[in-house]
Amino acid sequence: MEYSPNIIEKHWQKYWKENQIYKVSNDSTKPKYYVLDMFPYPSGAGLHVGHPMGYIATDIFTRFKRLKGFNVLHPMGYDAFGLPAEQYAIQTGVHPAESTAANIVGFRRQMDNIGFSYDWSREVNTSDPAYYKWTQWIFLQLFDHYYDTKLDKARPLSDLISHFETQGSSNVTASNSFDGSFTAEEWTSFSAKEKDEVLMNYRLVYRKVGYVNWCEALGTVLANDEVKDGVSERGGYPVMKKAMMQWSLRTTAYAERLLKGLDDVEWPESLKIMQRNWIGRSEGARVFFQVKDHPNLAIEIFTTRPDTIFGATFMVLAPEHDWVERLTTEACREGIEQYKDYVQSRSERERVSEVKKVSGAFTGAYAIHPISGNEIPVWISEYVLKDYGTGAIMAVPSDDSRDNAFAKHFKLPIIEVIDRSAFPNATMEDKVGHLMNSDFLNGKNIVEAIAAALDYIEHNGLGTRQVNFRLRDANFSRQRYWGEPFPILYDPEGVAHAVDVEDLPLELPKLDDFKPSVDGKAPLTKALEWLHPIDGWVREADTMPGFAGSSWYFLRYMDPENPEAFASKQALDYWQDVDLYVGGAEHAVGHLLYSRTWHKFLFDIGKVPTPEPFRKLINQGMIQGRSNFIYRANDKFFMAYLEKKVFADLMGDIDYVKETKSDFESATNYDYSIKGSNLVIEVTSFKQSDKIARIREIAAANGKRLLVIANETISRNINNPKHIEAIIRENLHSSVPFVISEYDKEPGQLYVSHNLTYKYDESNFSAINIDVNWLENDVLDIEKALASNMYKNADFKLDPNGKFTCSWEIEKMSKSKYNVVNPDHVIGEYGADCFRMYEMFLGPVEQSKPWDMNGIDGVAKFLRRFWSLYASPDSVLLTNDAPAKPELKILHTAIKKVTEDIEKFSFNTSVSAFMICVNELKKLNCSKREILEPLTILIAPFAPHVSEEIWQNILNNEGTVFDASFPSFDEQYLKDDEIDYPLCINGKKRAIMSFPAEENNANIENAAKSHPDMEKWLEGKSIKKVIIVPGKMINVVA
C-alpha cells in the first residue's frame, strides 16, 4: 500500500463531512471546552500560509481535548465588515456584500483543504443581517443604560431618570461627561431636547464632537492607516483634523474593572502589561487655576505630581481646548490662529511622538498660581491633547522633559523644586529627592510631598484628589457604508430615538455609489428613502466601526441560529466563556479591550454568566514573507563587464582610455577611445537613438570612427565575452566610420544572480523582488520566469554551475513583494497533513517567523517513514507480536513528550518528538500493533487524514479515530538503569561518566576525583569542592 496523501485526504474530508464528525452539541454529559480562533477578515487576496498557523494549532488542541474526553466547541466565522471591501466597491462598483460573499467562499474552500475540525454549522458572518441584528440590539442596550459608579455596574437609564425626577442632578453616582447641575423641578421643566442633551452625558453610548482625518481633495474621511506623513496615501493630498458629531462608547466607565479583571485571566504577562498601560490608571489631583481678567474662568488641570506645583511656571492648553478662543488676547490672536492651522495638519501620532520638535503659541492670558498667587502665562501647544486628562496642564519645566524643552525653547522660567543632589544619576522623571523652593513642602521627600500637597489642595478648595485613566472613550462612528447601521432616528428637534427592537435588524439600504457624500458625510445620506422613513425625521447615517461586530461574536457561536436572542440562556450557561483563545498580539489593546468591555456590560445586565470572556489566551506570532531577489543590470554594468571580461581578460594587447565625463556630458560623449587607433566605443542601449546620433556627430567631428556596442548585444552574449572581443577586433582597423553591434529587436532586461553581484560594484544593479513560487532552495526556475509576462524577454546570466541563485530577505508577506505563498499550492504538492505538521515544525506558535519552504521535505519524508512502519508498497506489515522493552520506551517517551508539549502549546517540539520516535522504531523495524495503535492516536491531532486512513483501513477499527481515547504514558517504561553524568572542572565539560541510576553522591564524588585525567585538568590546583546535581551533572571546583 502506497501513501498517497492527495487521495486519502480528499476521501476522509468527505467522510468527516458526511458523517458530521465535527458537529458539536450544546447538550452533553461531557465536560465542555471552548477553543476559539480570532476570526479573519475575508480579504480578496485569500488565505496565505500565515493565516492558518493559529488555526492549525487550535485544531490540534481541539482534537487533543476531544480525544481526552471533552465536548469541544471550535467554531469559525468572518469579521466581514471592513474598509477593503468598501474601497473595492468604490473602485469597481461591486457591492461589498457581493465581493465579501465571494471572498468567504474562497476562504472556506482554502480552509476545507487543510482538514480543520470546525463545526461549520455554527459559522457566523458579522455582515449578515441576522447577525448584526444582535449587534444593533446590544448597541440599544448600551444606549439605554448608564454606569453607576457606586454599585459599580450598568443600570437602566430609567433609574437615572427617576433620580433626576426626584433629586435632580445632586447625589448622582454615574460615569458622565455632564458639566453643570439642575434640580428636580428644573429637570421636569426641561424640553425633550434639553433632556436628551443631559442624558447623552450619561448613556454608555453617546454623542460628542470627535476629530477625523479629513481630506478635502478626496472629499472623504480617512483611516489613520490611509494617512502617511500628514498626507493621504492615495494621491498625497493634505489631510486636516475636522470636528464632527460622533457616537462614542463610554469605555472609561469600565476602566477600573477592565484593569482588575486582568488578574483573573490566564493571559501572557506582556499582554496584560500592554492593557494595563493602555488603560493607564494614575492617581493625582485635579486643580483649578483662576485666570487673570476672567473672573468666571478656572482652568482645570490634572496632575500626578502635585508635589511639584511650586515649579509650575506656565500653563499649556491643547490647541482644541474650548477656552482658547476666549482666553486669546487681540494682540496674540493672529499667532494663535496660525498655530491652530498648523496643528490641524498634524496627526495625533506625530504630535505625541516627535518629542524633539517644540512648538506652541502664547494666548496672551495669565493664570494665577493657586498657592503662590504668581501670574503665569497660558500657552497652547500640540503636545497637550484635548482628550487626555482635561486637555490642559500646569507645566513644570524642572521635572517634566517636554515642559522643560518647551520652557527652554520659549525662554520661560524654570524653578528647580526637587533637590536630587543625593542621587547623582537620577533623571528628571525619577521620583527621588527632596523638595525645595516649595514653601511648606520644603525638605519632604516626594511621597510625603505628594500627600501633603494633596491635603493642602483639598483643604483650601483648590481641587480634589482624583484617579485618572489614559484610556479614552472609543469613537464609535464611521462615515462609511460597509458597517452596521445605527438603529437611531432623530426627530425634527434632533433628539435621538432608539428604533424599536421589533424592527431590528435595521438593514443597510442598497446603494450603487459608495463614495462619501458632500462634506465627508456618510454614503448612507444618499439613500434618501431609507434616510427619512418619517417626514421630518432622519436616520443616523454613520455606521458602526469594525470592532462592533467582533466584540461579541464568540457568544453567537454558542447558539448561532437563535432568532429570539443573541444566544439562549441554556447555551450560554453550558458554554460559559472561551477556555482558550488564540490570536495575534496586534489585537492586544484594540479588540481584546473592546470585547471585554462589551462582555462586562452584558454581564451587568444579566445576559452572560461570566465577567470575563476569555479565560486563557495565547498570542500567535506572524508568519513573515521570505522574499527572493534578482538583480537587474543597469547601464553601468555593461561598461563594467566590458572592462573586466573583455578588455582586461581578453584584450590585454590593446590600450584603452575611459573618457571621463561629467554628468552633463554623459549623454554627449563616447565611453572609450582605443590608443593607436581612431576607434572610439560607446556602450548603450540601441533604443537610445537620439543619444547615439549625437555621439556619432561628435565622433565624426573629432575624426573618430564610432563603434556602438548595444547593451542588448552584451546581454544576449553574456556568457561569451569572446563574441564582444571579436566585434571590437573586427572594427579596430577598418575604415567604416560607424558601426552598431547586432541586437535582438525584442530585447529584455539582463538579470544576474546574487553570486555575480559580488564581482561587481553593487551600484551596477537594482534588486527586484521575484515571485517566490518560481524558486526552490533559492534557485530560480528560469523556465517558470520566462513563461511569465513580465520576464518573457528577459536574459538570465547563470552561474558557472548552470544555476541562477537568488538572495533573500525577510519582509512582510504581501502581494507587492511577490512573496505570498498560498496554502493550496503547498497542499497540492505535499498534502494537508504535511502542510499542517510543517507549519507547526517551523517554530513556536507564539513567535513570528519567516515562511520558508526549504524545510518541508523533511516533514514529507517523515510522513512517508511513519507510513512505512505500517505498510510497504505491497503489503500491510502490522504484527500482533508482544512489544519489547526498548519499543515501549520509545512509545512512552513520545506519549509523555507530546502530551506535555500539546498542553503547553509547544507543537514544534512535538513534531520533533514524533520524528525521533519514528526514526527509532524504524531502526528496530517495529511494526507491532501494540506500539503502532497508540502512536496513531497520538499523531491524529497533527495529521488527521493519514491517521484516520491507518486507523480504519490498516488497523481495521470501526468508526473515526477521533472517538478513540488519547494514550496515557506509563512512567515505568521510561526509567533508565544507568545515567551519563557530564564531568565538569570549574564549569567546563571534560568527560562523561556513567553511574547506576540510584548511585549515591559519595561514590560519584570519589569516582570523579579519581578520574585518570583529573590531575591534568586541575593544572596544579587542588579540589575545593565537588558539586553533584543528582541525575544531572558533576562539577569539580578547583
Residues 992-1031 that bind RNA (CB under 7 A): 992, 1027, 1029
One residue of 588, 602, 775, 888 binding RNA per CB under 7 A: 588
Assess 84 for contact with RNA (CB under 7 A).
yes
SS3 content of the chain, % helix, strand, coil (to 5): 40, 20, 40
Q: Which stretch binds RNA (CB under 7 A): 666-674, 825-833, 881-889, 910-918?
A: 910-918
Please, which residue, 368 or 622, has the CB nearer to RNA?
622
Nearest-angstrom CA–CA distance, 218 and 236: 10
Please, what is the minimum distance in Å from the beta carbon of residue 976 to RNA?
10
Alpha helices per DSSP H over 576-619: 591-604
Contacts of 79 (CB under 8 A, 6+ apart): 39, 40, 41, 42, 126, 546, 549, 550, 553
Cα angle value 723/724/728 (rounded, 5°): 120
Contact between 35 and 74 under an 8 Å Cβ cutoff? The reply is yes
Nearest-angstrom CA–CA distance, 547 and 213: 19
Question: Of 240-259, which residues contact RNA (CB under 7 A)?
Answer: 244, 246
Question: Of 715-774, which residues contact RNA (CB under 7 A)?
Answer: none
Q: Which residues make beta-bridge pairs with 148? A: 153, 174
Please, what is the minimum distance in Å from the beta carbon of residue 42 to RNA?
8
Q: Which stretch binds RNA (CB under 7 A): 154-162, 275-283, 368-376, 413-421?
A: 275-283
Please, which residue, 531 or 1033, has the CB nearer to RNA?
1033
One residue of 374, 822, 848, 953 binding RNA per CB under 7 A: 848
Q: Which helix (H) or strand (E) holds 1002?
A: helix 1001-1009
One residue of 391, 850, 883, 967 binding RNA per CB under 7 A: 850
One residue of 82, 391, 883, 967 binding RNA per CB under 7 A: 82
Q: Which stretch binds RNA (CB under 7 A): 274-282, 296-304, 663-671, 752-760?
A: 274-282
One residue of 228, 333, 759, 861 binding RNA per CB under 7 A: 861
Assess 94 for contact with RNA (CB under 7 A).
no
Assess 357 for contact with RNA (CB under 7 A).
no
Assess 223 for contact with RNA (CB under 7 A).
yes
Q: Which stretch binds RNA (CB under 7 A): 69-77, 707-715, 919-927, 946-954?
A: 919-927
Beta-strand runs (E) in 456-532: 463-469, 474-475, 488-490, 496-498
Nearest-angstrom CA–CA distance, 911 and 527: 56
Q: Residue 231: phi, psi to the nearest 5?
A: -125, 160
Please, what is the minimum distance in Å from the beta carbon of residue 223 to RNA?
3
Please, what is the minimum distance in Å from the beta carbon of residue 98 to RNA?
17
Question: Of 786-825, which residues contact RNA (CB under 7 A)?
Answer: 812
Please, which residue, 310 or 867, has the CB nearer to RNA?
867
Assess 833 for contact with RNA (CB under 7 A).
no
One residue of 179, 185, 225, 874 binding RNA per CB under 7 A: 225
Assess 129 for contact with RNA (CB under 7 A).
no
Question: Of 541-570, which residues contact RNA (CB under 7 A)?
Answer: 545-546, 550
Please, which residue, 682 or 778, has the CB nearer to RNA?
778
Assess 944 for contact with RNA (CB under 7 A).
no
One residue of 261, 335, 590, 609 binding RNA per CB under 7 A: 590
User: Helices 832-841 and 856-870, interaxial angle, to 10°?
Assistant: 120
Please, which residue, 492 or 855, has the CB nearer to RNA?
855
Residue 849, C-alpha cell as written in the block: 517567523
> Going residue by residue from 620 to 649, which x/- string records binding to RNA, judged by CB under 7 A?
--x---------------------------
Comparing CA positions, the residue from 865, 869, 897, 872 lying closest to residue 883 is: 869
One residue of 79, 400, 795, 839 binding RNA per CB under 7 A: 79
Please, which residue, 503 or 781, has the CB nearer to RNA?
781
Assess 898 for contact with RNA (CB under 7 A).
no
Cα angle value 361/366/372 (rounded, 5°): 130
Please, which residue, 692 or 918, has the CB nearer to RNA?
918
Please, which residue, 997 or 1029, has the CB nearer to RNA?
1029
Q: Residue 964: phi, psi to the nearest 5?
A: -75, 180
Contact between 910 and 901 under an 8 Å Cβ cutoff? The reply is yes
Burial class (CB in 10 A: 0-12, 13-18, 19+), 738: middle
Q: Which stretch binds RNA (CB under 7 A): 320-328, 430-438, 739-747, 984-992?
A: 984-992
Question: Of 321-340, which residues contact RNA (CB under 7 A)?
Answer: none
Assess 68 for contact with RNA (CB under 7 A).
no
Contact between 388 and 323 under an 8 Å Cβ cutoff? The reply is no
One residue of 145, 434, 849, 892 binding RNA per CB under 7 A: 849
Please, what is the minimum distance in Å from the beta carbon of residue 4 to RNA?
14
**Which residue carries 454614503 as its cell?**
523
Assess 864 for contact with RNA (CB under 7 A).
yes
Assess 775 for contact with RNA (CB under 7 A).
no
Sheet bearing 656-658, strands edge to edge: 656-658, 672-674, 679-684, 705-710, 738-740
One residue of 5, 40, 523, 883 binding RNA per CB under 7 A: 40
Q: Is the peptide bond before 397 cis (omega within 30 degrees of 0)?
A: no
Residue 248, C-alpha cell as written in the block: 462614542
Please, which residue, 21 or 60, has the CB nearer to RNA?
60
Question: Of 394-453, which residues contact RNA (CB under 7 A)?
Answer: none
Residue 991, C-alpha cell as written in the block: 568527560
Number of other CB atoms surrounding residue 191 within 10 Å: 10
Beta-strand runs (E) in 793-897: 795-797, 807-811, 849-850
Nearest-angstrom CA–CA distance, 897 and 969: 9
- What number of H helices and E strands is found in the chain? 36, 41
Q: Could you give the C-alpha distances from 459 to 444, 452, 464, 465, in angstroms and in order?
A: 19, 11, 9, 11
Please, which residue, 279 or 392, has the CB nearer to RNA?
279
Assess 222 for contact with RNA (CB under 7 A).
yes
**Would you give the distance in Å from CA 77 to the centre of its chain?**
20
Q: Which stretch binds RNA (CB under 7 A): 314-322, 493-501, 587-595, 634-642?
A: 587-595
Please, what is the minimum distance in Å from the beta carbon of residue 912 to RNA?
4
Nearest-angstrom CA–CA distance, 343 and 360: 9
Assess 277 for contact with RNA (CB under 7 A).
yes
User: Helices 591-604 and 269-279, interaxial angle, to 10°?
Assistant: 80
- 865 by DSSP, 3-state: which? helix
Q: Which stretch binds RNA (CB under 7 A): 146-154, 229-237, 289-297, 978-986?
A: 978-986
One residue of 777, 956, 968, 1006 binding RNA per CB under 7 A: 777
Question: Of 135-194, which residues contact RNA (CB under 7 A)?
Answer: none
Contact between 89 and 482 under an 8 Å Cβ cutoff? The reply is yes
Residue 554, C-alpha cell as written in the block: 464568540
**Would you give the distance in Å from CA 237 to the centre of its chain?**
27
Nearest-angstrom CA–CA distance, 739 and 723: 15
Please, which residue, 44 or 858, has the CB nearer to RNA?
858
Assess 205 for contact with RNA (CB under 7 A).
no
One residue of 101, 265, 414, 585 binding RNA per CB under 7 A: 585
Nearest-angstrom CA–CA distance, 235 and 653: 57
Assess 282 for contact with RNA (CB under 7 A).
no
Please, which residue, 251 or 438, has the CB nearer to RNA?
251
Please, what is the minimum distance in Å from the beta carbon of residue 985 to RNA?
9
Nearest-angstrom CA–CA distance, 546 and 100: 14
Please, what is the minimum distance in Å from the beta carbon of residue 483 to RNA?
8
Q: Which helix (H) or strand (E) holds 147?
A: strand 145-148
Question: Of 450-489, which residues contact RNA (CB under 7 A)?
Answer: 470-472, 474-475, 477-480
